[in-house]
Amino acid sequence: MERIPWNQYFMAQSHLLALRSTCERLMVGATIVRDKRIIAGGYNGSVSGGVHCIDEGCYVIDGHCVRTVHAEVNALLQCAKFGAPTDGAEIYVTHFPCLQCCKAIIQSGIKRVVYAEDYKNHPYAVELFKEASVQVEKVELDHVHIDTNPVEKVEFFSKMLHFLEDKGVSNEDLQGLRLQADKLFANLD
């Protein structure tokens, strides 16, 4: 059996964290690693105890949701809260960090940023990482498939069943498909 490479292992963790996001615009996860050990993780969401975007919508000012704390910052704050040093650590993020997260990452002493997807890669963030000698590497999640859009698949399948029903497919055939769908999507509650 081939073992999953470290980059894929930590990136998979970040994708799992992103599934906890409460942001409707973009689900992001971040994992901070030192000496091949996970020391913190975070996802983008509202301040603890606050209103979530998934409940009341995003609070957007100048094109940015101000309700959320970004995944990278949540992971860094977790390190601060529990006394885990970040100097020389690595951070694995599902998306390229925004400019503000870039600055927080540099200030924390993190020396390597690994991200899976480009997302509005700000040229100044790229420049700052370079000036700070922070290694930046794109590593897409390719060894492990993590479903990051299960709700959309359920909605699509439901629309497809309604379409088939409108086209006159028998109730018996539709019932069989519904039973299969229930089994496939049973754990999405």
CA dihedral sign, ordered 159, 165, 166, 167 = positive
Asked about 72 being catalytic, the answer comes back as: yes
Annotated catalytic residue within 2, 24, 56, 72: 72
CA distances from 176 to 58, 81, 165 (A): 39, 51, 13
Q: Are 70 and 102 in contact (CB under 8 A)?
A: no
Taking alpha carbons only, the member of 91, 87, 90 closest to residue 30 is 91
Q: What tokens does 170 get?
A: 């028998």
- Please list the active-site residues: 72
